[in-house]
Every structure is written in C-alpha cells, then in structure tokens.
Amino acid sequence: MLNFLTPDNRRAVIKEYLSRDLVVLLVSLSLAVIVLIFLFIPSAIFSKYNNKTVNNQLESSRGASMSKSQDPTELIKKINTMVGILSDSKSSPILMSDMITKIISLKNKGILISNISISKDNKGTENISISGVAKTRDNLTEFNNDLKNDGTFSTVDLPISALIKNTNAQFSIKLVYNKK
C-alpha cells in the first residue's frame, strides 16, 4: 500500500479525525444534558408545589388539633349529648350488637347464618335481613317461630320459597325491630 502522505501530515489527519470525534461526542452529550434539564424542570416545579401543599395541610391539621386539644372522653360525651338531642326516637335505642346477639341466641343447631345486615329507613325503623342455610325445613320453621314469639321484632317475614327444599334450604328472613 502506497502512502502519499508524509508522516507529519498523517499524524495531523489522525489528530484532526480524533478531534472531530471528540467534538461530536461533546456536542451530543451537551445536547442530551440540555434536553434532560428541560424535561426535569416541570417535575421539579410540580414536586415543589406538592411539597408546599402537603406542608400547608400538615400545619393546618396540627393547628386544628392543637386548638381543639380536649380530653377524648369529654369529646365523646359532647357528641353523645348532641346525638341524643338530635335523635327523635322516644324509646331507648338498642345496640346493633345486641340485635345480632339476640338473633344468634334464637337460632337452633340446624341453622347456619351467613349474613346479617341492618339498615334504617326514613321513618327510623331498623330493618334487619338475615340470610343463611337451614339443614332441614323443620329447623327453618322453628327458627322463624322463635323469632316471632320472642317479641323483639314486630315483623318477621320468611318467604314461602325458602320452604320448598326439604334439606339445605337457603333462606332470607326480613325483620323489623319492635320499638317498645
């Protein structure tokens, strides 16, 4: 292979080639840094805004709790008196846990209760829905009669469709609490 360049010119060409590569690399790197900075600015502003918002909310909640630092039992008593004033019921209310305990105590061994839901309608009456499985039809009718005879519930509604199956009958009983 013939060399038409002198060794000094060859070194100059190689040096020029390496300097071009270095310039292209540095320009590419600086452009990438500039693009990343522009992409980082919105997230930095957003995080600073979120930090200020969280700090403001934290300070306002601390201020509210500091200004209302009362004894929890006193606060509960005040809330109970407010609820007592606002409630229009003339009779003594029954606790939901007492209703559930009453229902469970009335069930016999052949009844498996899977769900008890208690709701209040616009008139203030407690509606209870019990669903589950009865091993036999007799167990279900006995449970229904026990609920009726107890006197705790003014209405006990067991649909006839629950009595169709003789064994493993799924049922749903609707009760209305009897306010005495």
Find the mean pLDDT for residues 131-147: 90
Supply the mean pLDDT for the chain.
84
> What is 96-177's CATH topology?
Alpha-Beta Plaits (3.30.70)
pTM above the 0.85 mark?
Answer: no
pLDDT of residue 88: 54
Residue 61 has pLDDT above 70, yes or no: yes
What values do phi and psi take at 167, rounded to 5?
-130, 150
